[in-house]
Amino acid sequence: MKKNDKLNKWLWKWHVISGLVSLPFVMILAITGGIYLFKDNYEANLQREVREVAVQRKTMSYQDQLQKARSQTDFPIDAMVLPNKKNEATKFISGSFGTKSTLYLNPGTGRATGEIPESTTDMFKVRKLHGELWMGGFGTKIVELVASWLIVLLITGLYIWWPSGKFKWKGFFIVRTGQGKRTFFRDLHAVTAIWFSGLLIMILLGGLPWTDVFGGSFKWVQQVTNTGFPDSWQGRGLTSTVNGKTLALDLMVKKAEQLKLSGEVSITLPKSETGVYSISNNPRNPIQMEIYQFDQYSGRKLVHNDWSDIGILMQGRLFFMAFHQGQFGAWNKWLMLFAAFMLLTLSIGAIFSYSLRKKKGWGIPKVPARFQIGKGILVMIVVLGVIFPLFGFSVLLILILELFGGKTRQRRIS
């Protein structure tokens, strides 16, 4: 493929500008993402005294444990997690996400071994830095904008990297080591990006659904196309027939054990007298997700949903989000850590490659004044702007600044 030299310079210009702006944030995301992969390992060691208890000969009923737990916390208890080991403290959950708090109860004594609000943990702070830069909703939008531009950087970088002359392995797929520092770091940046571009796209697809604008738009499309979770997954529209006394939690535990669900299994408590019991799991592989809804008085199964009931867009979202978090096992976690390391490597390569250039001022590649982008590029920008609204907004802002800057330069000349 013969490259258009003017287009190459134009793409290179915006690749450099967007790269300079994005790089600090990309490095923060790579470092914090790599750390957060080991959340479970870190917290299991740090919270061992709270999570583990001496094995008891006799334990309290789960219903009694629930009452004891309620008397030892200021938060309303929403769910209980089934213990997997005899030395595990029983976990009672309040709230979700940032408001989540977990109370650990000794099943033998009925005493709380500790209560851990999610927002007080070290890994919560790492996650906040990774997803919000510790700046709340504004920070989330910055992360989303950077993620959107990263996709553009990969696309423009591919065109810039594409050989215009005779193809050679060195410099395109292999880093050259004997042609000076500038060439080495240029290759370190470009070659690393090429080898891992597909993986980086998958990681970005796993992270973008958490964002505000793109994530909100994605959820809206799911609702309109009915490709998200079915209403029954959240228990909407399901009610229990009020009839005497609510079933004891122990009976629901027996039902949950009989279901033999994979991963961590939770029992969500009824929220009202007509509410329902829910039994669900949190497996490594989202394909194994299941949820059962039961009448809280009779124990009758009302609905059972599994992966096949989830819409196609939500299935894709869950898969990429699980991959992003390294949920599929050790291989996935170490692959994500390696990807974070390579993202840092290509970022460092870009910084040194840029700083070692022989340049004046900022060293931004110059584009011929009469250059006009083709219709194909324009359509691609519009499509990306629609898919990633914050990217589209940033492009409009750039165009306005470019137009204003052009008029200012004309006035100076005249």
Last residue of a domain, one of 265, 282, 310: 310
Average pLDDT score over residue span 243-268 = 96
Pick the closest to residue 78 from 257, 270, 252 (CA basis). 270
The distance of Cα 13 from the centroid of its chain, to the nearest Å, equals 30
Please tell me the distance from the alpha carbon of residue 312 to that of residue 227, in angstroms, as a whole number: 6
Neighbours of 333 (CB within 10 A): 17
* Co-location of 182 and 271 in the same domain: no
* Co-location of 68 and 50 in the same domain: yes
Average pLDDT score over residue span 321-346 = 94
Whether residue 400 lies inside any domain: the answer is no
pLDDT value of position 410: 56
Q: Which two tokens stand for residue 178?
A: 């004997």
* Co-location of 77 and 142 in the same domain: yes
Q: Which two tokens stand for residue 247?
A: 């079933």
The distance of Cα 183 from the centroid of its chain, to the nearest Å, equals 34
Containing structural domain, residue 212: 1-228+329-371
* Co-location of 160 and 201 in the same domain: yes
What length is written for the chain?
A: 414
* Co-location of 241 and 193 in the same domain: no
* Co-location of 253 and 294 in the same domain: yes
What's the DSSP call for residue 120? G
> Residues of 135-152 as b/e, b for ≥16 C-beta within 10 angstroms?
eeeebbbebbbbbbbbbb
pLDDT value of position 17: 84
* Co-location of 187 and 237 in the same domain: no
Phi/psi of residue 178, each to 5°? Answer: -115, 20
Total number of domains in the chain: 2
* Co-location of 215 and 251 in the same domain: no
pLDDT value of position 408: 58
pLDDT value of position 177: 83
Q: DSSP readout, 17-83? A: HHHHHHHHHHHHHHHHHHHHTTHHHHHHHHTHHHHB-PPPSS---HHHHHHHHHTT-SSPP-EEEPP
Question: 140-145 contacts: CB < 8 A, separation 24 or more?
Answer: 140/211, 140/212, 141/211, 141/212, 141/213, 141/390, 142/25, 143/25, 143/29, 143/211, 144/208, 144/211, 144/212, 144/213, 144/214, 144/215, 144/388, 144/390, 145/390, 145/391, 145/394
Whether residue 262 lies inside any domain: the answer is yes
Q: How confident is the model at residue 40 (pLDDT cuts 50, 70, 90)?
A: very high
* Co-location of 304 and 363 in the same domain: no
pLDDT value of position 194: 84
Torsion of CA 340, 328, 334, 177, to 10 degrees: -60
* Co-location of 223 and 237 in the same domain: no
* Co-location of 281 and 336 in the same domain: no
Last residue of a domain, one of 279, 310, 341: 310
Please tell me the distance from the alpha carbon of residue 271 to that of residue 263, in angstroms, as a whole number: 24
| Cβ atoms 392, 31 nearer than 8 A | no
Judged against a pLDDT cut of 70, whether residue 216 lies above it is answered with yes
* Co-location of 68 and 178 in the same domain: yes
pLDDT value of position 339: 94
CATH number at residue 300: 3.10.450
Phi/psi of residue 161, each to 5°? Answer: -70, -30
Whether residue 16 lies inside any domain: the answer is yes
The mean of the pLDDT values for the chain is 90
Q: Which residues pair with 114 in a beta bridge?
A: 104
pLDDT value of position 400: 85
Entry pTM:
0.88
Pick the closest to residue 101 from 88, 81, 115, 117 (CA basis). 117
Whether residue 378 lies inside any domain: the answer is no
Report percent pLDDT > 70 for the chain.
Answer: 93
Whether residue 40 lies inside any domain: the answer is yes
Helix (H) or strand (E) holding 293: strand 290-295
pLDDT in tens, 396-414: 988 887 777 655 555 555 5
Whether residue 402 lies inside any domain: the answer is no
pLDDT in tens, 354-411: 887 766 555 676 776 677 777 888 898 899 999 999 999 998 988 887 777 655 555 5
Whether residue 334 lies inside any domain: the answer is yes
- Select the more confidently predicted residue: 6 or 221: 221
Whether residue 379 lies inside any domain: the answer is no
pLDDT in tens, 114-162: 999 999 999 999 999 999 999 999 999 999 999 999 998 988 888 888 7
